Structures are given as structure tokens and as C-alpha cells.
Amino acid sequence: MTRRPIIAGNWKMNLTVTEGLALARGVRDRCARFRGVDVVVGPAAMALHPIIERLADSPIGVAAQNCHWADKGAFTGELSPVQLAEVGCTHVIIGHSERRTLFGETDENVGKKARSLHDHGLIPIVCIGETLAEREAGTTLAVVTRQLDAAIALLDGDELSRTVLAYEPVWAIGTGKTATPEQAQDVHAAIRARLAEKAGAEATEAVRIQYGGSVKPTNIRALMAQPDIDGALVGGASLDSDSFARIVSFEEDVDR
Ligand code: PEP
């Protein structure tokens, strides 16, 4: 099966609304023509609505960077899948390593968020990945498997096939140290093998697994050449529309 590539930008807490709108315009102008790739941008929460409006005439998706699993309630400072769906979000990034390490995100909560997002027609982009200490201790696959199992525990095969996974080795995020394409492929293949144990062949084949961690225009093509790498979750390089477009256009024979 050929899986349609998906490239998403995680803007984190980096841009004002004005800056985000300008970047969204740049992404739309440069990326909307690449019809063979799903393109998603991930602005800060207060910029979601205006950016969704700005991108309304384009195929570009818009992701929130986190959510709560409840529909509504006394959860000060949180955003619910109901609220995100109402403004037109298409995707939500959950389980990002910054949420896990800095804000106490647990494996179990990631699973509840994935469940709730599917209940409201939103696509989770589920981040999983090991720290440097875990890699050096030889526990990469155990960690990633534990995170994966919890994230998909409440999903059926159909929901799983629509879920996007992002393998992001924590040691490669924002460090300039990319996993080699072979290192990434090894983990992606192990993730797909685990999916095969947990879900049917159809869902296993359909799930798109992004790689994330210092993805740049110069390394995207080698990563995308790997059989189980179906896209990228991009942090730093997504903050410039030109570099993001060069990543999105990885299939084109352009000078990078
Ligand atoms: C990320 O935070 O998801 C990420 C991959 O960041 P960067 O591309 O900057 O390493």
C-alpha cells in the first residue's frame, strides 16, 4: 500500500498571532500546490481560529498542540476536542515529549486524548520516542512500545488507521542531531510490527508514521526514502515558510 505522506509543522510557543498569520500565508502560498502530500501547521492556541480562517481556501490542515480529553468542565487553562473541532481544527498533536517531560503528560492520558479526539472527528498526531538515556540503556523499543500501546489502547482498527504516529527521539528534538535514516527506519519498522500484533493488517498498513527530530530540507529526502517513514513532524524548520516548503516538496528535484 502507498501511504500518502503527511508533513506537519509544530510552531510550539514561538509566534504571536500576527507572526503566525504571516507564516500561514507563506505556507499557503508555497505549499498548497503540492497535492501529493498532506500539509498541516500547528500554531499556538489563540492563533488557531484566525489561521483556520486564513487557510480556509486551501487544503492545508491546522493542528492544535495539545488538548484535554473531556468535552467540557472545570479544567482551567485547557482546551477540549469539542472546542477545537468547532473552530475547524483538523489534527491535534498529543504526547509531545515537551508535554511529557515538562508538564507531566502520562501514557494513559495520551490514550484518553486519542479516544476523545476520534469521538469528535479530529485526527491525533501521537508523539512517542525515547530519551538519550533510554537509548543508551538499550530500552528504546521497550519505551516506544509502552507509549504506543497506551496511546492506541482505546481505539478500534478503523480509528487506528486514521491516527498519525510521530516517532520523535527526544535526543533529536531541537538539537540538530537527526537520527540517521536507518536508525529511524529501525524504530518505525518496530512500531509497525507492534501495530500488526495489536490490530489487523489493514490498519497496520494504513497508519502513517512520521519521523520528528531536527528534520531539515537537507535530510528530508533520505528520511522519506525509508519504507516505513511516511512524513515528518517538524519543529524549528517549520517556522520559516521557505524551509518548510522545501521539506514539503521533498519529492521534487529541487536544489536544496
Ligand atoms: C518537535 O518538537 O516536534 C521537533 C521535531 O522539533 P525540531 O524539528 O526543532 O527538532
Q: Measure 74 CA to ligand 1 centroid, in angstroms.
A: 31
* Residue 62: closest CA among 130, 137, 125, 146: 125
Which ligand 1 atom sits nearest the alpha carbon of residue 173? Answer: 10
- Establish if 64 belongs to a structural domain: yes
- Which pLDDT score is estimated for 238? 98
Closest residue by CA, ligand 1 atom 3: 235
pTM of the model: 0.96
- pLDDT averaged over consecutive 10-residue blocks of the chain (256 residues)? 94 98 97 91 98 96 98 98 98 98 97 98 98 95 98 97 97 90 97 95 96 96 97 98 96 59
Could you give the C-alpha distances from 147 to 9, 187, 202, 218, 237, in angstroms and in order?
A: 22, 13, 22, 30, 26
Structural domain tally of the chain?
A: 1
- Establish if 249 belongs to a structural domain: no
- Establish if 244 belongs to a structural domain: no
- Which pLDDT score is estimated for 256? 45
Report the CATH number at residue 53.
Answer: 3.20.20.70
- Establish if 1 belongs to a structural domain: no
How far apart CA 231 and CA 18 sit, in angstroms, is 28
- Establish if 251 belongs to a structural domain: no
- Establish if 247 belongs to a structural domain: no
Mutation probe of ligand 1 site: the residue of 214, 219, 223 with most atoms within 8 A of C-beta? 214
Q: Measure 201 CA to ligand 1 centroid, in angstroms.
A: 30
3 state SS of 240: coil
Task: Give 3's DSSP letter.
Answer: P
- Establish if 84 belongs to a structural domain: yes
C-alpha cell at 239: 517556522
Site residues for ligand 1, CB cut-off 6 Å: 10, 168, 173-174, 212-215, 233-237
Closest residue by CA, ligand 1 atom 7: 235
**Which residues span the domain enclosing 204?**
6-28+39-238
Please check whether residue 184 is in contact with residue 204, taking contact to mean a CB–CB distance below 8 angstroms.
no
- Establish if 33 belongs to a structural domain: no
Torsion sign over Cα 217, 221, 222, 227: positive
Torsion of CA 74, 77, 81, 82, to 10 degrees: 60
**Packing angle between helix 140-152 and helix 181-198, nearest 10 degrees?**
40
Closest residue by CA, ligand 1 atom 6: 235
Which ligand 1 atom sits nearest the alpha carbon of residue 237? Answer: 8
Query: Does the annotation count 168 as an active-site position?
Result: yes
